[in-house]
């Protein structure tokens, strides 16, 4: 049967319309490139700074517990979606190539205004 229909063929009626906050927003993808940020309004009138493009990453070395800001050369692997590698999209758990070597992104860059990673 088609989605949204009863076995008898009748339609299911929605109890109410979606509220504005429940509406799906435009997907934000962080692409490798010159840094570009955007300030958006979130629920409650607050502001959130989101990342659209970047070429910098904060790398934390597990051994020395020190952080360094280095440039990203390339996206090597994205376990969640292999097609994101071609577009150089930065997402959580993506393996990137940096000046210091390979690193794995540990945060969600589309939700925050920076990219955090650990060396592999």
CATH number at residue 56: 3.10.290.70
Binned at pLDDT 50, 70 and 90, residue 20 comes out as confident
Full domain range(s) for residue 106: 27-119
Both ends of the chain: CA-CA distance in Å?
A: 49
> In this structure, what DSSP letter does residue 22 have?
G
Binned at pLDDT 50, 70 and 90, residue 2 comes out as low
> In this structure, what DSSP letter does residue 42 have?
-
Task: Report the domain count for the chain.
Answer: 1
Q: What is the pLDDT of residues 70-83, one digit of tens each?
A: 999 999 999 999 99
pTM (two decimals): 0.79
Residue 55 lies in a domain: yes
What proportion of the chain, given as a percentage, has pLDDT over 90? 66
β-strand 36-41 against 101-105: which pairing, if any?
Answer: unpaired
Q: What CA–CA distance (Å, rounded) separates 113 from 94?
A: 17
CB atoms closer than 10 angstroms to residue 89: 18
> In this structure, what DSSP letter does residue 17 have?
P
Q: What is the pLDDT of residues 85-97, one digit of tens each?
A: 999 999 999 999 9
Across 41-56, average pLDDT: 92
Residue 106 lies in a domain: yes
Sign of CA dihedral 98, 99, 102, 104: negative
């Amino acid at each position: 049967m088609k989605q949204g229909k009863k076995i008898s063929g009748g339609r299911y009626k929605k109890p109410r319309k979606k509220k504005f906050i429940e509406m799906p927003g435009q997907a934000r993808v962080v692409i490798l490139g010159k840094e570009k940020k955007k300030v958006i309004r979130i629920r409650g009138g607050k502001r959130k700074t989101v990342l659209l493009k970047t070429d910098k990453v904060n790398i934390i070395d597990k051994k020395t517990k020190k952080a360094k800001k280095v440039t990203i050369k390339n996206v090597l692997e994205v376990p969640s979606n292999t097609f994101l590698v071609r577009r150089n999209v930065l997402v959580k758990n993506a393996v990137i190539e940096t000046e210091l070597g390979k690193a794995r992104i540990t945060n969600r860059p589309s939700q925050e205004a920076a990219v955090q990673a650990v060396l592999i």
